[in-house]
Amino acid sequence: MSDQAPKRLSVSERLGLVNYRNQGRTDARAHIEVDTSICNSTCSHKCTTRICPAKCYTLDEHDQVHFQFEDCIECGTCLYACDQGAVTWKYPHPEEGRGINWTLG
Ligand code: SF4
Ligand code: SF4
What residues does each domain of the chain span?
31-105
Residue 3 CA to ligand 2 centre (angstroms)? 37
Q: Which residue has the higher pLDDT, 26 or 105?
A: 26
Q: Which residue has the higher pLDDT, 101 or 50?
A: 50
Confidence category of residue 92, pLDDT binned at 50, 70, 90: low
Count of C-beta atoms within a 10 Å radius of residue 58: 13
Q: What is the pLDDT of residue 38?
A: 98
Residue type, 15: L
CATH class as words, domain 31-105: alpha beta
The pTM of the full predicted model, rounded to 2 decimals, is: 0.81
Count of C-beta atoms within a 10 Å radius of residue 82: 22
Residue 69 CA to ligand 2 centre (angstroms)? 8
Ligand 2 in reach of 78 Cβ (< 6 A): yes
pLDDT digits (tens, 9 = 90+) for 52-65: 998 999 999 999 99
Which ligand has an atom closest to residue 82 CA? 1
Confidence category of residue 98, pLDDT binned at 50, 70, 90: low
